[in-house]
Amino acid sequence: AEDEDPVVLEENEWEVTPDQENPMDPPGFDEQLLGLKAGDSKEFTLSWPEDSQSIYAGRSVNISVTVHKVQSYKQAELTDELAQMIGPDFETVEDLRQGVRESLLEQAQQEAESDYLEQAVTALLEQSTLNYPPAVIEDQLDVMMNETDQRLRQMGLNGLNHYFEMVNQTQEEYRDQNREDAKRIAERNLVISEIVAKEKLSVSDDELMERIKETFGEEDPESESAQNMIEMFRDGPGRPILESQILTQKALDRILAIVRGEEIPEPVAEAETDANDETPADAEGEESAVVANTAESATEDAGADDAEEQPAASDQSPAVDAAAA
């Protein structure tokens, strides 16, 4: 690098596929490789633009490459034998076509459902009254900075502080730059947490174990590594993380069910209640109505001109009121 603090990247063997639509970094790298053949070597200097999202924005790099081999793609003839090589579920070309067709349909359905859910959550956020201290956003910024620091270290860099030195940026400038994203994520998490509380969602031991086993893949669940994972996520520090992931998915599934008008199971009534409190059925009915009506109102707003205003719950959480504004 052409500055006072050079960065030396370790030499590695890469398989490079030049692609005009998805060029490699730094800009111009693909073009420098065009025309080279096996055994050729080449040295060149490239730069990242000042406005690049790369951690090397505004810097130059001296690159030395040696081509070991050059390969090209050749379209194979579509035969039953090729279909069988692609997967055990395919005996014939028609089986392969049907499998691809079903896979594309499933992918399209998942994308449509994801878009639909995102619209519902966005509308729900717009309909919600959120009350929370500024520290919530600061905490989310801390989480984001820790995650970025870990990613940079996995890339072989010396963490976020080194990144700040490289791009001549302060920690406060970085936090200000990411504050809106942190606000959006924090508010989304607050609404989801409120839905978990209002709908009385929970995670059973069986659900937890099922999720843990999903991480094994084809690994023997009785193996030492699998048992260590079970211990960490069932009884150790990993349990709250896994429970949070499951509850988040349950809350998102509940939002989808509400906006689709599907039947929602009644929340489990608490065993005990104060004599002066409302009956469990009444209280739960009111809480469920707040979430359901908010989500329904949000969905109606996405497709209609007017949405009925919903009342706020009497026992709303001080952190976030998931009621229509």
For the cut 60, the answer to whether the pLDDT of residue 17 exceeds it is: yes
Q: Is residue 148 part of a domain?
A: yes
Which of residues 74, 89, 118 is at a domain's end? Answer: 74
How many angstroms separate the CA atoms of 193 and 199, rounded? Answer: 10
Token pair 């000042």: residue: 50
For residue 315, what pLDDT is reported? 37
Which of residues 53, 74, 95 is at a domain's end? Answer: 74
What is the domain range of residue 1? 1-74
- pLDDT tens per residue across span 265-314: 665 544 333 434 443 333 333 333 334 344 444 444 444 433 333 333 33
For the cut 80, the answer to whether the pLDDT of residue 5 exceeds it is: no
For residue 2, what pLDDT is reported? 45
Token pair 């995102």: residue: 118
Q: Is residue 269 part of a domain?
A: no
Q: With beta carbons less than 8 A apart as the criterion, state whether 295 and 259 touch.
A: yes
Instruction: Give the rounded distance of the alpha carbon of 30 from its chain centre.
Output: 30
Q: Is 251 exposed, middle or buried (0-12, 13-18, 19+ CB in 10 A)?
A: buried
Q: Which long-range contacts does 73-80 make (Cβ < 8 Å, 24+ apart)?
A: none
Least confident of 9-18, 63-72, 236-245: 9-18
Average pLDDT rounded to a whole number, residues 18-24:
73
Q: Is residue 147 part of a domain?
A: yes
How many angstroms separate the CA atoms of 197 and 251, rounded? Answer: 10
Q: How confident is the model at residue 108 (pLDDT cuts 50, 70, 90)?
A: very high
Report the mean per-residue pLDDT for the chain. 77
Start-to-end Cα distance in the chain? 54
Q: Do you know the residue count of the chain?
A: 325
For residue 313, what pLDDT is reported? 35
Indicate whether this model's pTM tops 0.75. no
Q: Is residue 5 part of a domain?
A: yes
- pLDDT tens per residue across span 145-166: 999 999 988 888 888 988 888 8
- pLDDT tens per residue across span 169-206: 899 999 999 999 999 999 999 999 999 999 899 999 89
Q: Is residue 289 part of a domain?
A: no
Q: Is residue 20 part of a domain?
A: yes
- pLDDT tens per residue across span 33-57: 888 888 889 898 988 888 877 777 7
Q: How confident is the model at residue 323 (pLDDT cuts 50, 70, 90)?
A: very low
How many angstroms separate the CA atoms of 124 and 145, rounded? Answer: 27
Which of residues 35, 57, 74 is at a domain's end? Answer: 74
Backbone angles phi, psi at 64, to 5 degrees: -125, 120
Q: Mention every residue, 6+ apart, whose C-beta is less than 8 A from residue 43.
A: 62, 63, 64, 65
4 vs 318, more confident? 4
Give the residue ranges of DSSP H helices in 34-178: 80-86, 93-127, 135-154, 160-167, 171-177
Q: Is residue 227 part of a domain?
A: no
321 vs 325, more confident? 321
Q: Is residue 59 part of a domain?
A: yes
Q: How confident is the model at residue 143 (pLDDT cuts 50, 70, 90)?
A: very high
For the cut 50, the answer to whether the pLDDT of residue 126 exceeds it is: yes
Question: How many structural domains is the chain composed of?
Answer: 2
* 3-state SS class at 322: strand
